[in-house]
A and B are shown apart, each in its own frame.
Chain A
């Protein structure tokens, strides 16, 4: 047995989970899908004194679209459900498109959206998607409930705005306007591995055919998922087209803050990040034509 010893509890309600984490103190951890925490325990990088297993709490699971068109995803909803759910495919096609890139099928069968956000790996896909979509993260803890904007949630590598004893309860994505263009692209050594760099993006056009709103975010290119404001500004007011996309990609490079590691150098990540921005924008723009001929 590789992990260190711990106490194990499997509450069936949010209230009892919160009570248990309060009772067991600072070294206790919530256990979501376990696809990041358990490897860390197997390496003994993490050694929680107690695990409060959230897998039995039905209230933390589920996918719904409300009357305003907001998509609500329970924190313990598994990545595989996000990948295969037809409601999500319609309510947030960008999230749907990114899901197959999240690790491998065996991991997606266990891993959860809340777990991925709380873990806050800078190269993980779901943090990038919530940031680019301006989603809200609802958390619950000893101080009650609060709602954190995705852009304020990620504070550093493996570090979030979650306080001791708090858990994510739900992620809320704003409505997806008709006609929005979107794409997700990442580069990794092997399909399903962590991205060396990934880019998620969307844009809307107005009645004059100009880009009226745009969102671009990078993963694996900084300590947190990054919005790319210079690239977004370069798109606004322009008519979509190759020259505009190339300009935006060049601007995006200034927004990236990549580091170097065993997988890729900062210079490589910067270059690839720019290339991916261009590909994302082109794919997003060409998609209706591509789908019509498919």
Chain B
């Protein structure tokens, strides 16, 4: 049906309901229906990685998934990484390492890095470089981003969150 579908999903730990046309991407749904504008849309065809969110534990491009497909899933967006006003270790490491300049790509890097560090708590520099290959940053030159993720890995292994 081209008519709207009702869906329920869990976003950043909260149950959310909305009505969407089938053609609404998850990215547009998060931004426009759920007012979670931290997820950024760059290319909208799966190349830039800015719209990366975590769906059922996996980093995915939210511009390449329709919102109707996310019914019943658990989603973490960049807004879900911090604990209230307290930045996560990963976010703090980005801040400390100057891993962002304009900030547009940052939500995608943070959500991607969050899943990388969950799967592999002790990545090598080469592994980090490979894992963020699907995210484009036009400001930093990537080096500070890799530094930040490695520092976050180190601090998380020491028990920080």
**Chain A positions near chain B (C-beta within 8 angstroms):** 1-8, 10, 34-35, 38-39, 41-43, 51, 53, 55, 80, 100, 103-107, 109-110, 190-192
Give bound CA distance, A62 to B60, whole Å. Answer: 20
Q: Is the CB of A104 within 8 A of B49?
A: yes
| Contact status of A110 and B134, CB under 8 A, knowing A1-B23, A4-B23, A104-B49 | no
Give bound CA distance, A80 to B63, whole Å. Answer: 19
Q: Is the CB of A55 within 8 A of B69?
A: yes
| Contact status of A5 and B44, CB under 8 A, knowing A55-B69, A80-B58, A105-B59 | no
Q: Is the CB of B133 within 8 A of A192?
A: yes
Q: Quote the shortest CB–CB distance from A135 to chain B (angstroms).
A: 26
Chain A neighbourhood of B5, CB < 8 A: 8
In the assembled complex, 8 residue pairs joining A and B whose CB atoms fall closer than 8 Å, in A order, are A1-B24, A38-B65, A42-B25, A42-B64, A51-B22, A104-B133, A106-B59, A107-B134
Q: Is the CB of B64 within 8 A of A10?
A: no
Mark B105-118 against chain A: 1 for CB-CB distance below 8 A, else 0.
00000001001100
| Contact status of A5 and B21, CB under 8 A, knowing A34-B64, A105-B134, A110-B65 | yes
Q: Is the CB of A106 within 8 A of B61?
A: yes
Chain B neighbourhood of A2, CB < 8 A: 25, 44
Mark B36-70 against chain A: 1 for CB-CB distance below 8 A, else 0.
00000000111001001000001111011110110
Give bound CA distance, A7 to B5, whole Å. Answer: 10
Q: Which of A1, A34, A55, A105 contacts B131 (CB 8 A)?
A: A105
Q: Quote the shortest CB–CB distance from A35 to chain B (angstroms).
A: 6
Q: Is the CB of A106 within 8 A of B134?
A: yes
Q: Is the CB of A106 within 8 A of B65?
A: no
Within 8 A of A (CB), among B13-32: 21-25, 28
**Chain B positions near chain A (C-beta within 8 angstroms):** 1-2, 5, 21-25, 28, 44-46, 49, 52, 58-61, 63-66, 68-69, 112, 115-116, 130-131, 133-135
Rank and list the top 10 A-B pairs by shortest CB-CB distance, nearest first: A104-B134, A8-B22, A39-B45, A109-B58, A191-B133, A38-B64, A3-B23, A192-B133, A5-B2, A106-B59
Q: Is the CB of B22 within 8 A of A6?
A: yes
| Contact status of A103 and B22, CB under 8 A, knowing A42-B44, A110-B61 | no
Q: Which of A6, A43, A104 contacts B45 (CB 8 A)?
A: A43
Chain B neighbourhood of A41, CB < 8 A: 23
Give bound CA distance, A55 to B66, whole Å. Answer: 12
> DSSP class of A's interface residues: helix, strand, loop or mixed?
loop
Q: Is the CB of B112 within 8 A of A105?
A: yes
Chain A neighbourhood of B21, CB < 8 A: 1, 5
Give bound CA distance, A55 to B5, whole Å. Answer: 17
Q: Which of A3, A53, A80, A104 contacts B69 (CB 8 A)?
A: A53
Q: Which of B1, B44, B45, B135 contacts A7 (CB 8 A)?
A: B1
Q: Which of A5, A10, A106 contacts B49 (CB 8 A)?
A: A106
Q: Is the CB of A10 within 8 A of B130?
A: no
Chain A neighbourhood of B25, CB < 8 A: 1-3, 38, 42
Give bound CA distance, A34 to B25, whole Å. Answer: 11
Chain B neighbourhood of A191, CB < 8 A: 130, 133
| Contact status of A109 and B46, CB under 8 A, knowing A34-B65, A55-B69 | no
Chain B neighbourhood of A1, CB < 8 A: 21, 23-25, 28
| Contact status of A35 and B46, CB under 8 A, knowing A110-B65, A192-B134 | yes
Chain B neighbourhood of A38, CB < 8 A: 25, 46, 63-66
Known pairs A53-B69, A106-B52; list 4 more (Cβ under 8 Å).
Answer: A104-B135, A105-B115, A105-B116, A107-B46
Chain B neighbourhood of A43, CB < 8 A: 45
Q: Is the CB of B2 within 8 A of A110?
A: no
Q: Is the CB of A106 within 8 A of B60?
A: yes
